[in-house]
């Protein structure tokens, strides 16, 4: 047996010593904790501001939920089909659909060969 597991004779059935401060069951804090625990167990514990049925916000929420269920609710900003970006996207989609190659990246610039002339050749000519 390890040193920690050794049992002192006459203490086999005693509970371990309680650590920390003793709890006063009649204190206001302990009563509040017990009341909250009882409400949680019974299902009557609610957090936050209560909902007012029939308010403008609740009516609006119900309308939005109905539109979501029917698929009528659109999300985000509407697309302008005449914008520069949408026109470019349409052209790109058309090219992809018809198998036209789309150039990617920076355009290739043909290199111009620069001929260097030595100063001695200029003076002779």
Res. 13 pLDDT band, cuts 50 70 90: low
Radius of gyration in angstroms for the set of CA atoms belonging to the chain, rounded to a whole number? 41
**CA nearest 90: which of 98, 77, 78?**
98
pLDDT digit string, tens, across residues 29-88: 999 999 999 999 998 888 888 889 999 999 999 999 999 999 888 888 999 999 999 999
Mean pLDDT of 18-28: 90
pLDDT at 110 over 70: yes
Contact between 86 and 80 under an 8 Å Cβ cutoff? The reply is: yes
Tokens of 48: 């936050």
């Amino acid at each position: 047996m390890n040193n920690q597991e050794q049992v002192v004779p006459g203490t086999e059935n005693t509970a371990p010593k309680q650590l920390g401060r003793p709890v006063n069951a009649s204190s206001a804090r302990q009563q509040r904790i017990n009341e909250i625990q009882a409400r949680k167990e019974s299902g009557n514990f609610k957090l936050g501001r209560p909902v007012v049925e029939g308010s403008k916000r609740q009516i609006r929420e119900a309308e939005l939920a109905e539109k979501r269920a029917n698929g009528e609710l659109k999300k985000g900003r509407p697309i302008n089909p005449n914008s520069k970006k949408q026109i470019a996207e349409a052209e790109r989609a058309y090219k992809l659909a018809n198998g036209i190659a789309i150039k990617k990246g920076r355009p290739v610039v043909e290199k111009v060969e620069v001929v260097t002339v030595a100063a001695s050749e200029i003076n002779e000519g």
